[in-house]
Chain A
Amino acid sequence: MADASEMVLTYFQKGFNYSQDGPGNRLVYHLNGCNLRCPWCSNPEGMAPDSKGRTEDVKALASAMISAGPMYFEGGGVTLTGGECTLQFDPLKALLILLREAGVDTCIETNASHPRLPELFPYLNTLIADFKHPDPELHRQWTGTDNLPVIRNLRAAAASDLPLQLRVPLIHGVNDDDAALAGFIAFFKEINRPGLTVEFLRYHEYGREKWEKQGLAYTMKDAFVSPERAAFFERACKEAGLHVIRT
């Protein structure tokens, strides 16, 4: 791997968030580029790898993140998300190494599709991974890619002792039917272990305006999920012995 000072990362947004992107108060960087094309994405501005962003070398970024230490209260730290942060894999890994060396708590939010994802595990304090659909075909239909790499990576993560938060964007007409629920439960039960949590995030349209600003058509329709339906999913998972959380 090249020297950190020679590598750069491009991000399109940064800021603090409390508890929703990992434990405590976290500095969240949204890295450019994504390999999926989910039509409900709330950050479409960062989808294209060459989308508008700010590029900085990894060492400078690490230095800025380390200097933000006074705000990492209640177990907080840095979260890298996207887009899909693993698309800038090598600089991301270099950054995580520098942060861990400096004692900064690290977390990534990922769609878990990158084949080298397990390489990052030693440098993470928390892994937050999406699992959008248990059915490979439907996963491909909605996101443009297969879910097999995701399943492989999540099994690997579950086999490690890394705190693992699984997230499901719950979307009407996409993955809120009983068959999907059964698929989620079957897979989550298979990889379940202490330190693994499941969270269902109800569909929202915070991204709609951004799609339109990008000149892109927002194609999702009638996708909201009722609180009752979401609670039903949560209850079913709990009954299956899973640790369900809401952040």
Chain B
Amino acid sequence: MKTYVSTPETITAMAKALFKEERAINRLDGWFLTKESYMRHEAEAASLPPMEKAALLLCRALEELPLSISENAVFAGTQRDAFARSYALINPSFKVESFAGYCDPTAVFDDIEPNEEITKARLDLVREHDRQSDYIKTLTKAYSDSARFTDEAVFFVEQVTGHVIPDVRPTLRFGVRKTMASLDEKIASEKDEIRASGFRAMRKALEGVLILAGRYADLAESQAASAAGERKAQLELLARTLRKVPAEGAESLYEAIQSFILMWQVMCLEQAPNPFAFSVGNADRIFEPYRARDGLSRDETAALLKHLLVFYNVADRSWAISQNLIVGGRDLDGADLTNETSFALLDAYYDMNLPQPILSVKLHKNTPERLYAELGRFFFTPGCLTPSLFNDDSLFEILEKNGVEKADLPDYAVAGCQEPLIMGKDNGNTTNSWLNLGKILELTLNDGRSLITGEEIGSFVPRVPFRENLEHLRERFYINLEGYLKEMEKAANACSAAVSHLPVPFLSTMMGGLDSGYDMRDTSHQGTRYNGSGCLIHGLSVVADAFVAVDHLLSEHPEDADRLSAALKADFVGYEDLRERLLSYPKYGNHEAEPDDEAVALAARVSQMVSSLRNYLGNPFRVDFSTPSTHLTYGYWVGALPDGRKSRDMLNYGVDPMAGDAMGGLGLRTLSTMKLPFEKFNGGYASHFGIDPRYFRGSDPEEKGLEFARRVVAPLFFNPMADHMSPFYLYVNVTTPEMLRKVLAGGEVPADIEKLIAA
């Protein structure tokens, strides 16, 4: 039965108006009200085990939070109450200059400007209450214990919230009540008290979404009573829908989207504030059965999906970031899974051009030309968001080698920007640790003393004369790396232990908890089928180039070896000739054997060392060469290096060559990239191509999209001459610096700010 409201044009106009409304919001108090509600009801929940306590408090907050439905909304629900006006590196409390502020989980209270309603006293009371929590105490200790290393970003660690891909499909299909009934049976039969408590907590948490749906339904009914005409009909449909979903299974696309939104809202609220990088997963596959059942046209589908996209944008700067939505891909037999909803989603994205959610596209060697043609408009419209591209053929192989069961492979999706995870089954703890290879090289060259501050950070190798240090640089670097990695492992696991004090029973229902009975953050019992901890590795090509430069210097100009120490300390001031020479040595990214082989060896060895670390459950850390703009901030803390890079300059982005070093252009860069051991990058990686639009000569975006497939995607991802696993990630800007300046001068804000900065 087709459930539809108004015309696609009307629904689209409402979505655009809704986004405009959202961007006018410059206060986000909901997360604070939620925390205050938790505090107020804590006594009531005091005797409960942690998971059940969390579930009860979540329900109480959902009973109390102020709700509204905009006159432009066709769905009820918002993420607004889960986010503060701060995010990640743009958190006002984070200062690159001191690399501090990010560690203080109570700094978020400063994001609210006190007013008559939310007074400073109220804010301080909850902040203080938070400070006394086990979570904050444990986290503060974790940061304090590792400060020696994190202060100058040798490595960094964080407690991971968000960053998973819930599987909402069973709820959409069967409804929450059916899950609750199944939990009732498990609770009755479970002998293990921890699991029984887990099941009770999950059941209670699911009540929360029914509370929310009921309150929204009441609100919609009440607004319908005073509305007229088309709006009245919209609100009446909304109220009817909310009485049905997510309690029961959805039977139309409209119901499925509404059900999805409410599940998402509660999932985010449970982790307020700031559960970044929850990802939708394979959105086209999630919604296509409902579209098909309705028989909706592409335009009708796109119009409804536009409201879903607006939902992912929070307030004036779309504060909820790194939410990823993916389309396309293949099944186990290699058959393409692109469907009509895939194309409708592309239409919705293109028409709305919103900052969130991030669009990703799965490609494989049988991806239909139609998809490439339809992607053309994203790549060839200045100022338009461009999708990230993933290579299913490689990723299936990598994930399977890393223990993912065959049947789960098509369900991989992307959390954050680049990290592949299995939808509903994988807690990758993806941003748990951040490693700075550049800083470790700096410390190795300088006996553990920072060139930036002069602080003695420490070294795991004995002090030797500088020349001897150079002669054994690799060996000493790897010994140091091992030492720092052990410290990082300890600190990262301490952060995970801290966040385990904040159980997430609601999310756990969509992450395998219904089978395991455990919270997905449990550090003693594995609640999800797959588990690991992420390590984002910075400075690959900078360090590889530095090794090569030292080799050349020692063999070609040994008389300058001792000058290098002074030159590095002086940031090359007074040693410009030496720097010129160092810069002239071969660099990674030009398809030259020496530096490329060095980068491959470095990537392989670092990957092996990171993989040998163990997280809180004894599972390996995952190797992730992603640097989401952090190549800038981590570089800020690295002194001068022998590749000729100056102190505080950025590091290379992801696995890319250092900016300006790939002198031979994109083709040679591609060849260098293809040599890297991608099979070891089980946590993901970042790579960016900036391509001159003049490379494409098609007469329209569709033709250019096909050229893009032939000249960029196919050589990199599906090259028949590749002698080992092909790359699996690419982000592209088809633009020139001149074009970017023009877009900015024109006042248009490029859609994907974070990636543009990285580019």
Q: Write the residues of chain A forming the contact surface with B, with a CB cutoff of 8 angstroms.
A: 14-16, 18, 25, 27, 64, 67-71, 73-74
Question: B452 an interface residue at 8 Å Cβ cutoff?
Answer: no
Contact B665 A73 (CB under 8 A): no
B294-351 interface (Cβ within 8 A of A): none
A-B contact count (CB 8 A): 45
The interface residues of chain A lying within 8 Å CB-to-CB of B674 are: 70
In the docked arrangement, what's the CA distance between A67 and B723, Å?
11
* A18 touches which of B592, B664, B711 (Cβ 8 Å): B711
In the docked arrangement, what's the CA distance between A70 and B665, Å?
15
Question: B722 an interface residue at 8 Å Cβ cutoff?
Answer: yes
Kindly specify which of B94-102, B163-171, B680-688, B713-721 makes contact with the partner chain: B713-721
Shortest beta-carbon distance from A23 to chain B in Å: 14
Majority SS of interface residues in chain A? mixed
Shortest beta-carbon distance from B5 to chain A in Å: 48
Contact B711 A70 (CB under 8 A): no
With CB as the reference atom, state the residue of chain B lying closest to A65: B591
In the docked arrangement, what's the CA distance between A18 and B665, Å?
12
Q: Given A18-B695, A70-B721, A73-B711, 13 more contacts at CB 8 Å?
A: A14-B664, A14-B668, A16-B666, A16-B667, A18-B711, A27-B668, A64-B592, A67-B671, A70-B671, A70-B674, A70-B715, A70-B722, A73-B715
Known: A16-B668, A71-B667. A64 touches B721 (CB 8 A): no
Question: B23 an interface residue at 8 Å Cβ cutoff?
Answer: no
Pick the most buried of A16, A25, A64: most chain B CB atoms within 10 A of its CB: A16
Question: B670 an interface residue at 8 Å Cβ cutoff?
Answer: yes
Question: B401 an interface residue at 8 Å Cβ cutoff?
Answer: no
Question: B710 an interface residue at 8 Å Cβ cutoff?
Answer: yes
The interface residues of chain B lying within 8 Å CB-to-CB of A73 are: 710-711, 714-715
The 7 closest A-B pairs by CB, nearest first: A16-B667, A15-B665, A70-B721, A15-B664, A70-B719, A71-B667, A69-B721
B636-676 interface (Cβ within 8 A of A): 663-668, 670-671, 674
With CB as the reference atom, state the residue of chain B lying closest to A71: B667
18 pairs, CB–CB < 8 Å, chain A vs chain B: A15-B663, A15-B665, A15-B668, A16-B667, A16-B668, A18-B695, A18-B711, A25-B715, A27-B667, A64-B592, A67-B671, A68-B671, A70-B671, A70-B722, A71-B670, A71-B671, A73-B714, A74-B711
Contact A71 B715 (CB under 8 A): yes
The interface residues of chain A lying within 8 Å CB-to-CB of B591 are: 64, 67-68
In the docked arrangement, what's the CA distance between A14 and B670, Å?
14
Shortest beta-carbon distance from A30 to chain B in Å: 11
In the docked arrangement, what's the CA distance between A16 and B722, Å?
18
Known: A68-B671, A71-B671. A16 touches B721 (CB 8 A): no
In the docked arrangement, what's the CA distance between A71 and B668, Å?
8
Interface residues on B, range: 20 to 34
With CB as the reference atom, state the residue of chain A lying closest to B674: A70
With CB as the reference atom, state the residue of chain A lying closest to B719: A70
B687-725 interface (Cβ within 8 A of A): 695, 710-711, 714-715, 719, 721-722
Known: A67-B591, A68-B591, A68-B671. A16 touches B664 (CB 8 A): yes
Shortest beta-carbon distance from B355 to chain A in Å: 33
The interface residues of chain A lying within 8 Å CB-to-CB of B668 are: 14-16, 27, 68
With CB as the reference atom, state the residue of chain B lying closest to A26: B667
Shortest beta-carbon distance from B751 to chain A in Å: 28
The interface residues of chain B lying within 8 Å CB-to-CB of A15 are: 663-665, 667-668
The interface residues of chain B lying within 8 Å CB-to-CB of A68 are: 591, 667-668, 671
The interface residues of chain A lying within 8 Å CB-to-CB of B666 are: 16
The interface residues of chain A lying within 8 Å CB-to-CB of B715 are: 25, 70-71, 73
Known: A70-B721, A73-B710, A74-B710. A25 touches B592 (CB 8 A): no
In the docked arrangement, what's the CA distance between A64 and B597, Å?
13
In the docked arrangement, what's the CA distance between A71 and B592, Å?
15
Shortest beta-carbon distance from A199 to chain B in Å: 15
**Chain B 709-747 against A: per-residue CB contact (8 Å), 1 yes, 0 no?**
011001100010110000000000000000000000000
The interface residues of chain A lying within 8 Å CB-to-CB of B663 are: 15
In the docked arrangement, what's the CA distance between A132 and B124, Å?
81
Majority SS of interface residues in chain B? helix
In the docked arrangement, what's the CA distance between A74 and B719, Å?
12
In the docked arrangement, what's the CA distance between A18 and B695, Å?
7
**Chain B 563-607 against A: per-residue CB contact (8 Å), 1 yes, 0 no?**
000000000000000000000000000011100000000000000
The interface residues of chain B lying within 8 Å CB-to-CB of A67 are: 591, 671
Contact B711 A16 (CB under 8 A): no
In the docked arrangement, what's the CA distance between A69 and B666, Å?
15
The interface residues of chain A lying within 8 Å CB-to-CB of B714 are: 73
In the docked arrangement, what's the CA distance between A69 and B719, Å?
10
In the docked arrangement, what's the CA distance between A14 and B710, Å?
22
**Chain B 588-632 against A: per-residue CB contact (8 Å), 1 yes, 0 no?**
000111000000000000000000000000000000000000000
**Chain B 349-372 against A: per-residue CB contact (8 Å), 1 yes, 0 no?**
000000000000000000000000
Contact B667 A25 (CB under 8 A): yes
The interface residues of chain B lying within 8 Å CB-to-CB of A74 are: 710-711
In the docked arrangement, what's the CA distance between A71 and B715, Å?
6
With CB as the reference atom, state the residue of chain B lying closest to A72: B721
In the docked arrangement, what's the CA distance between A25 and B670, Å?
13
Shortest beta-carbon distance from A111 to chain B in Å: 24
Shortest beta-carbon distance from B722 to chain A in Å: 6
The interface residues of chain A lying within 8 Å CB-to-CB of B711 are: 18, 25, 73-74
Shortest beta-carbon distance from A66 to chain B in Å: 11
In the docked arrangement, what's the CA distance between A238 and B174, Å?
70
The interface residues of chain B lying within 8 Å CB-to-CB of A14 are: 664, 668
In the docked arrangement, what's the CA distance between A15 and B672, Å?
13
The interface residues of chain A lying within 8 Å CB-to-CB of B671 are: 67-68, 70-71
In the docked arrangement, what's the CA distance between A216 and B235, Å?
76
Shortest beta-carbon distance from A210 to chain B in Å: 15
In the docked arrangement, what's the CA distance between A16 and B665, Å?
7
In the docked arrangement, what's the CA distance between A18 and B666, Å?
11
Shortest beta-carbon distance from A99 to chain B in Å: 16
In the docked arrangement, what's the CA distance between A194 and B536, Å?
58
In the docked arrangement, what's the CA distance between A64 and B715, Å?
18
Shortest beta-carbon distance from A180 to chain B in Å: 29
In the docked arrangement, what's the CA distance between A67 and B590, Å?
12
Pick the most buried of A18, A27, A71: most chain B CB atoms within 10 A of its CB: A71
Pick the most buried of B592, B668, B722: most chain A CB atoms within 10 A of its CB: B668
In the docked arrangement, what's the CA distance between A209 and B722, Å?
39
The interface residues of chain A lying within 8 Å CB-to-CB of B721 are: 69-70
In the docked arrangement, what's the CA distance between A71 and B695, Å?
15
In the docked arrangement, what's the CA distance between A224 and B236, Å?
69
The interface residues of chain B lying within 8 Å CB-to-CB of A27 are: 667-668
With CB as the reference atom, state the residue of chain B lying closest to A18: B695
The interface residues of chain A lying within 8 Å CB-to-CB of B593 are: 64
The interface residues of chain B lying within 8 Å CB-to-CB of A64 are: 591-593
In the docked arrangement, what's the CA distance between A25 and B671, Å?
13
In the docked arrangement, what's the CA distance between A85 and B666, Å?
23
Shortest beta-carbon distance from A209 to chain B in Å: 16
In the docked arrangement, what's the CA distance between A69 and B715, Å?
10
In the docked arrangement, what's the CA distance between A69 and B592, Å?
14
The interface residues of chain B lying within 8 Å CB-to-CB of A18 are: 695, 711
In the docked arrangement, what's the CA distance between A70 and B722, Å?
7
Shortest beta-carbon distance from B226 to chain A in Å: 63
Pick the most buried of B663, B670, B711: most chain A CB atoms within 10 A of its CB: B711
In the docked arrangement, what's the CA distance between A169 and B668, Å?
28
Shortest beta-carbon distance from B498 to chain A in Å: 47
In the docked arrangement, what's the CA distance between A31 and B666, Å?
20
Pick the most buried of B591, B592, B666, B674: most chain A CB atoms within 10 A of its CB: B591
In the docked arrangement, what's the CA distance between A67 and B667, Å?
12
**Chain B 389-431 against A: per-residue CB contact (8 Å), 1 yes, 0 no?**
0000000000000000000000000000000000000000000
In the docked arrangement, what's the CA distance between A71 and B672, Å?
11
In the docked arrangement, what's the CA distance between A18 and B670, Å?
14
In the docked arrangement, what's the CA distance between A68 and B665, Å?
13
Shortest beta-carbon distance from B676 to chain A in Å: 14
Shortest beta-carbon distance from A105 to chain B in Å: 14
The interface residues of chain A lying within 8 Å CB-to-CB of B695 are: 18
